[in-house]
Structure 1
Amino acid sequence: MIATSERVELLEYAESLAQMVLESDVVEQYQICLYKMQNSKETQEKIKRFVNLKDIYEEVQRFGKYHPDYKRVMSQIREYKREMDLDQYVADFKLAETDLQYLLDEISMHVGGAVSKNIKVPSGNPFFDNGSHGTGCGGGGSCGCSA
């Protein structure tokens, strides 16, 4: 690949865009929420407890309902997940993470659309996916289109 002045200029624009994203309010909020979540001892204990049980859950899943601890583990995993998800720092982080993903999806759609309206940019967000395919053409073949 030959480095032309046009390519260098495009890379500089991309770096500038990346820097603008890093300096945005959305990323700042994401970093604040991540910091609070990582530095809350109570939140980290909930996460650790859930992750530890998740390892046991995966073992139980291998045998399904025939595992002797199936009911207990299934009940506990739902309880621990609910407790972790309802933690204020985890909930705030998930919202900030969703906002950041939305921003990145929107940027991807604008960049792809600037090149051609036929560019398929997988976003994982049905709001951005065009057509009546549901998951869009970036969904790993699950859209069912003939493209």
Structure 2
Amino acid sequence: MSSWREMAARVLAMDADERPPAEYGLSPELTADLRQLQALLPPAKIANAAHWRPVVADALRVAREGWAAKAIGVGWSVHDLFGVGPRDEWEFSGLAVWLAGRPLVTINADYALAGGDDTLCSTFIRGGMGHGTHPNIAPVLLWDFGR
């Protein structure tokens, strides 16, 4: 059985050889939404505007590095990747909101692993607590939250 570091090295090597196109391997609509997100100012409804830019940077990195295309290819929704609760991130956190600057290591149909060389891996469980369906919370996409 391979360690997570060995798996990460294989994934990163594969990514380097298969660079995503300018559209990040995503639909033109989603690519346009991400470009719109990049230009948005921090939303007035968040308590600390300084938290907005890192979330946007993580969302763009997930797309740019090809993780979003891989995730969608194994069944993730756009809300799983770029969703947030309609009022704040405590209600619902998609992968981009949850990352908090950590690099992704791997992604499959059920979870994503994030971590670095000298940190433990953290697991984002798709559909897990705060990351999935909730009967009273309908997440919005970051570019809609930011309006």
TM over 0.5: no
What TM-score comes out, normalization by structure 2 length?
0.24
- Structure number with higher helix proportion: 1
What TM-score comes out, normalization by structure 1 length?
0.24
- Structure number with higher strand proportion: 2
Structure with larger Rg: 1
